[in-house]
Amino acid sequence: MSFKKALRAIIMGPPGSGKGTISAWIVRDFEMKHLSSGDMLRAQMGKGTGAGVAAKAAIARGELVADDVMNEMIIAEIEEIENESFLLDGYPRTVSQAAALDEAQPVHTVINLAVPFDTIRERIENRWVHQGSGRVYHTVFNPPKRPGFDDQTNEPLIQREDDKPHSVLARLDVYKKQTEPLLARYRGQGKLTEFTGTESKVIYPEVKKFLETLVLA
């Protein structure tokens, strides 16, 4: 399904909200490019652009990439497809970045996945992994046959550091503090549409219905 005019959209959602899954379904059902900030960052570093070199150096030092460097890299990638519809994922993360994007390539709509934090905590905290293969289990939705052990090798499962309760709470707290001003900005611009739910398969039909209204616009 394609839009009459190129649609520039952002998708937002906390870690564990199902953003990756829903993004994949959107680009499957609509003629949109999924622009991941991580992928674009790697592309610019691979091209050896000035911003890419600066970003690589910051990462090597264990520092966050500065807003102005991120802006230059992401906007350069977006400008290469300015006549195509895209779904921007992972950028902007700050009001400063949003302001730069508004000036260069203002978006038409922002999709926010407002999944309750309690649901996200349950999803992530109950996730266990087989280190050797990367197989993922969930103690509620996809439990191993023998609790704590991989089905195929019978080796012990581990919980990633990021999936441990204290880490999950810290990540969600950082996300909330970082994104609240951003959501307020887009809400004030009349561009924000929020979708609340606990399951991606329930949220996505509503997202799809919303995007279908933009196809006809």
Please give the Cα distance from 199 to 125 (Å, whole number). Answer: 16
Asked whether the CA dihedral 41, 27, 82, 217 is positive or negative, the reply is negative
Phi first, then psi: what are they for 126, rounded to 5°?
A: -95, 15
HSE-CB for 178 with a 13 A CA cutoff = 17
171 a catalytic residue: yes
Please give the Cα distance from 93 to 9 (Å, whole number). Answer: 14
Q: Which residue among the candidates 42, 56, 93, 121 is catalytic per the annotation?
A: 93
Degrees to nearest 5, angle at CA 177 with 173 and 179: 115
Distance of CA 17 to the CA centre of its chain: 9
8 a catalytic residue: no
Q: Which residue among the candidates 160, 164, 176, 201 is catalytic per the annotation?
A: 160
Q: Which residue among the candidates 121, 135, 171, 185 is catalytic per the annotation?
A: 171
Hunting for tokens 């196809």 — which residue is that?
A: 215
Please give the Cα distance from 192 to 117 (Å, whole number). Answer: 20
127 a catalytic residue: yes
19 a catalytic residue: yes
- Which value, in Å, is the radius of gyration of the alpha carbons in the chain? 19
Q: Is 93 helix (H, G, I), strand (E, B) or coil?
A: coil
What is the set of active-site residues? 19, 93, 127, 160, 171
